[in-house]
Amino acid sequence: MGRAIMIIGAGALAVGVVIYALIECAQSEKYSVRSIPKGAWLLVIVLLPVIGALLWLFFGRPVKDDAARAPERGRGPDDDPQFLRNLEERRRQQERERRLQEWENELKRTGRAPGERPGSTDPLDPSDPRNEDPGTGDPRPGEPGPGEPGSRSPGQ
């Protein structure tokens, strides 16, 4: 019984090798086949099934280039130096735009550039409730009231 299984297995392997050799020979390019012409290889494989298939595998198969054996791995965007430079430049540009927008908002809100301290001659925002005396609602002592010399109107 064990011997029959080995014979069947060997026969299946031989049929598989012959079929593989026939298909590979048929799909190979006409002028890249080695030793003898492609049609002759097909005849050798069919007429001498196992021996012809082995001869094809060792002596007839086209030689593949090194580039064909190990295809170049596709480069992802994170492997491309130009993509990384563009990404970094885009990030810097967005950061500049964000800072400029913050400065514009600060300038609109306070009338001063960011980081600029109010000078001693620059009055604080008159509409700010912190500038009024908590008890009377009048401007704090030492600060000019509305309409007095030295005071600024909100539009100035």
pLDDT of res. 105: 87
pLDDT of res. 28: 87
pLDDT of 93 > 60? The answer is yes
pLDDT of res. 68: 53
According to DSSP, the residues that pair with 84 across neighbouring strands are none
pLDDT of 71 > 60? The answer is no
Say if residues 34 and 63 touch (Cβ distance below 8 Å).
Answer: yes
Q: Which residue has the higher pLDDT, 115 or 70?
A: 115
Q: What pLDDT digit, counting tens, does each position of 121-130 carry?
A: 555 566 666 6
Instruction: Find where tokens 């593949």 sit.
Output: 64
Q: What pLDDT digit, counting tens, does each position of 17-26 carry?
A: 999 999 988 8
pLDDT of res. 64: 74
pLDDT of res. 148: 54
According to DSSP, the residues that pair with 96 across neighbouring strands are none
Please give the full DSSP string across the chain, using - where no structure is assigned: -HHHHHHHHHHHHHHHHHHHHHHHHHHS-TTT--SS-HHHHHHHHHHSHHHHHHHIIIIISPPPPHHHHSPPPPPPGGG-HHHHHHHHHHHHHHHHHHHHHHHHHHHHHHSS-TTPPPPSSSPPPTT-GGGB-TTTSSBPTTSPPTTSTT---TT-
Determine if the pTM surpasses 0.85.
no
**Mean pLDDT value across residues 77-100:** 88
